[in-house]
Structure 1
Amino acid sequence: MQNLLSLLNLGLVLRWWNSLMQPSRVDWLWASVAIFSFPAQFIYASVVMSEMVMQTLALLIVVAGLLFIRTLKCRFAFGAAVAVTLGLLVKPVFYPLAGGLALLGTILAWRSRRLALFAIGLVPLVSVLFYMGWNYQRTGYFHYSSIAEINLLHYNAAGVVRQAQGAAAEEQWVSGVLAEANAQPSFAGQQHLIRARATTVLLAHPVLYARQHAQGMAAFFLDPGRFDVAQFFRLKQIGVSGLLTSVRDGSLLQAFAKLPLGLMAFLAIILSANVVRAVLALRGFLLLGSGGPLVRIGRWLAAGLLLYVALLTGPLGAARFLVPVWPLLLALALVGQQGQKGKNALRANDKPLPMGESQR
């Protein structure tokens, strides 16, 4: 089922690109290279994890949003709200979108005088509040997911301590916080203490953490996925840390040098492809500004979701976390690959919104 979803997602992107840009056979060849040079797409379609389901939901959010803009029909707005709700239940990183959709629904309802849009915009937020209330009833701590505190302790704050004082200090600090948290009489007390200790570290080193966060966002787009490849093909343990850890330790070149020659060459190709794809995606975003109003709005939806997930993933940036929104990056890169020819195709396909809908 996940492999079928992967094919569906790629097919949707390719169909949109084909209808908008009229690509040549050479363009299709480059599209194939772009797809097969991101192995995480196929790896996570073949393991029991939530990435591929979330990828489908992310595309549904964009498609339903564009259909609503194109038609102004409430059923498409409701479809987007349902997709956001299912998305935040699949991956907690999407739950802040609930507040954004509620705000957007309120603005649209005010401008169009349609109360239904206000109610639709509240669907994800109500779901989040109910779930947080359920967690509060069970644990005494009003929260959506404890993964926030786990990441805050083990990755955000721990990464800062590691960069500031070294690996030994990081291990000692994390152990100390966990020991202090486990001594608390309640789950709520544990989580409050972890959040307080981690926040103190981050506030003490704001510049260091900002750099760490930026490195994670870069890794989000560029990571070749060494861990994913090694696990999927059951390669023997080679004692090499992940890309981001190697960057933080200043041992990236040494880490690559420890890899088997074949794996090193493969990952170098994927890394190069990721760099090229990111540059082409930026170029595609700029080129889409020459299209019609729906295309221009669509590019912001795609770029917004990409940057949203990258920003919230932060220091954890890796190929796996890009998978849910990777088709959006691919769509932008496919447009960017065509250059001026693509710009001419966009102008030829410029179809403004119907006048009545535009006025509404």
Structure 2
Amino acid sequence: MRSERVPTLILLILAGVHLFALSWALSRGVWDFPDSGRYLQAAQNLWLHGELYARSWPGKLPQGQAVQEFTIRTIGYPLALLATGATVISPVVLLVVQNGLSLLNIGLVMRWWARWARPNMRERLVAILGVLSFPAQFIYANAVMSEMLLQSVVVGMMAAGMYYIKTGQRRYFAVIVGASVLALLLKPVFYPLAVVIAGAGGLLAWRRRQMVLGLIGLVPILVVGLYMGWNKQRTGYFHFSSIAEINLLHYNAAGVVRQTQGLEAEELWVASILREVNAQPDFATRQHLIQARARAVLWAHPVVYARQHAQGMAIFFLDPGRFDLSEFLRLKVPGSGLLAQARAGSLLRALGRLPLGLMTLLSMVLLANVARLMLAVRGFWRLRNSGPMLRYGRWLAAGLLLYVALLTGPLGAARFLVPVWPLLFGLALMGLRRGELLLLPNKKAAPVREDERQR
């Protein structure tokens, strides 16, 4: 009978790759990504001045556009930086923790897969190729970025969800709620999930006649409300994160202007909007004006924006990670990102300017992403006949994947897939084997036939 345990060889390969990436990051200093500075600065200001502010503290209350730095980063990851001493000495402890979490997340998915599918060694090696062909996993385990901590929270949320499906015990629903609170404090993309959790809690309370579930489900909304109130006290504007308006202006609306009028028109439009909003008397008026100007563009071109949003969602799953690799390997790559080039209609020209080695690597990762997505769809379909834990659990995994893809929208990239990638990987593993039924959770494993043992 095939074991549920992850073989030592597999663990050694994974540990070796993580150790190599960690050594590279520390020796070359490539853990410092463009967005890392804001996280570190926010943590330092929180420690020195008691202010969550993502730029150098000006010594007096910031005005105008600078006010957005109070809420551009949520408090979760800066607290993690302080806890690991990343702002005082070096990020070594933080990166070691993140690599450990990455190993744990991958190991949990592979062990879960082994429990239900009983893979042979050849299939396990194919699974290893599936991990190695997603370099963003190793890159963000070794960067001062919140993706790996958030990935661990999402894996915990998924595990608790499956155990709740299996047992119906309230403690697992409480873990889901706690994980959702941690997730929204790490990344703003998860704060709308509070509404979903509240709705799920209310539905479960009604169906199970357990009102406590409804009360537990309200906790994330309560946390969001308190956090937004804290932000209002600091900025005068009741909101969760200023990154929403930044993305709305610079990516959502600006992308539509670029597609309809060209790159030069986009730059002029963004500059004119910034002049107008920065002249407003307070931050709240500034942000409301950004929303009004950006939404006017989106409403004027709904089809263009819908196409842009759909394109971003597709790239969310397929992006080979040109930005991530070039940053981690410190490669000087000409031109802007591939998504921007695709929108400008010059993707092929941009690919032609890439170094041959990088273009080959990106092509291999892209093919792996396509295969992984197809296997995930197949795995989702195959689980329709399994036991309740897997049959309903697949909807939880797919729901989280589509939730993040939908809210990321035009910003779709490998980086934003990282937090939910283990869910995609788990579904892909379930679609890996051909012609053999998965074990139902309430049945014992069937003996392995002699011809299977010889494969």
Give me the TM-score of the superposition, normalised by structure 2. 0.75
Taking the aligned partners of 2:264 and 2:341, their CA distance within structure 1 comes to: 16
Matches within 5 A, 1:128-277: 128-235=224-331, 237-277=332-372
Counterpart residue identity of residue 349, structure 1: L
**In the alignment, is residue 309 of structure 1 matched against residue 404 of structure 2?**
yes
The residue that corresponds to 2:414 in the other structure is 319
The residue that corresponds to 1:299 in the other structure is 394
**In the alignment, is residue 120 of structure 1 matched against residue 216 of structure 2?**
yes
The residue that corresponds to 1:39 in the other structure is 135
Q: Deviations over 1:231-278 (max 9, x none)?
A: 10111x221321211211111111111011111111110111111111
**In the alignment, is residue 284 of structure 1 matched against residue 379 of structure 2?**
yes
Task: Point out the more displaced range, 244-253 or 157-166.
Answer: 244-253
Taking the aligned partners of 2:150 and 2:114, their CA distance within structure 1 comes to: 24
Counterpart residue identity of residue 101, structure 1: I
The residue that corresponds to 1:73 in the other structure is 169
The residue that corresponds to 1:358 in the other structure is none
1:349 to 440, 444, 451: 440
The residue that corresponds to 1:9 in the other structure is 105
Counterpart residue identity of residue 241, structure 2: S
Counterpart residue identity of residue 442, structure 2: K
Task: Point out the more displaced range, 113-122 or 203-212.
Answer: 113-122
The residue that corresponds to 2:23 in the other structure is none
Q: Deviations over 1:25-82 (max 9, x none)?
A: 1111110110000000000000111000000011111111121222222111111100
Higher relative contact order, structure no. (Cα contacts within 8 Å, ≥ 6 residues apart):
1
Counterpart residue identity of residue 76, structure 1: Y
Do 2:98 and 2:149's aligned partners in 1 also have CA atoms closer than 8 Å?
Answer: yes
Counterpart residue identity of residue 242, structure 1: G
Q: Deviations over 1:284-319 (max 9, x none)?
A: 110111211110111000000000000000000000
Task: Point out the more displaced range, 65-74 or 31-40.
Answer: 65-74
Counterpart residue identity of residue 392, structure 2: I
% identity of equivalent residues: 61
Do 1:217 and 1:313's aligned partners in 2 also have CA atoms closer than 8 Å?
Answer: yes
Taking the aligned partners of 2:251 and 2:236, their CA distance within structure 1 comes to: 25
Q: Deviations over 1:168-210 (max 9, x none)?
A: 0000000000000000000001000000000000000000000
Counterpart residue identity of residue 260, structure 2: A
State the secondary structure of the residue aligned to 2:141.
coil
Superposition RMSD in Å:
1.0
Taking the aligned partners of 1:67 and 1:120, their CA distance within structure 2 comes to: 17
Number of equivalenced pairs: 347
**In the alignment, is residue 50 of structure 1 matched against residue 146 of structure 2?**
yes
State the secondary structure of the residue aligned to 2:237.
coil
Do 2:315 and 2:413's aligned partners in 1 also have CA atoms closer than 8 Å?
Answer: yes
Do 2:140 and 2:147's aligned partners in 1 also have CA atoms closer than 8 Å?
Answer: yes
The residue that corresponds to 1:355 in the other structure is none
Q: Displacement of 1:111 after TM fit?
A: 1.6
> Structure 1: where are the runs of 5+ without partners?
353-360
Q: Deviations over 1:73-125 (max 9, x none)?
A: 21111111000000000000000110111111111111212121011101111
Taking the aligned partners of 1:70 and 1:270, their CA distance within structure 2 comes to: 36
Counterpart residue identity of residue 243, structure 1: L
The residue that corresponds to 1:356 in the other structure is none
Taking the aligned partners of 1:350 and 1:64, their CA distance within structure 2 comes to: 16
Do 1:219 and 1:243's aligned partners in 2 also have CA atoms closer than 8 Å?
Answer: no
Do 2:165 and 2:388's aligned partners in 1 also have CA atoms closer than 8 Å?
Answer: no
Q: Displacement of 1:350 after TM fit?
A: 4.3
4+ runs of 1 displaced by more than 4 Å? Answer: none
Taking the aligned partners of 1:19 and 1:219, their CA distance within structure 2 comes to: 32
The residue that corresponds to 2:125 in the other structure is 29
State the secondary structure of the residue aligned to 1:339.
coil
State the secondary structure of the residue aligned to 2:432.
helix
State the secondary structure of the residue aligned to 1:212.
helix
The residue that corresponds to 1:82 in the other structure is 178
The residue that corresponds to 2:196 in the other structure is 100
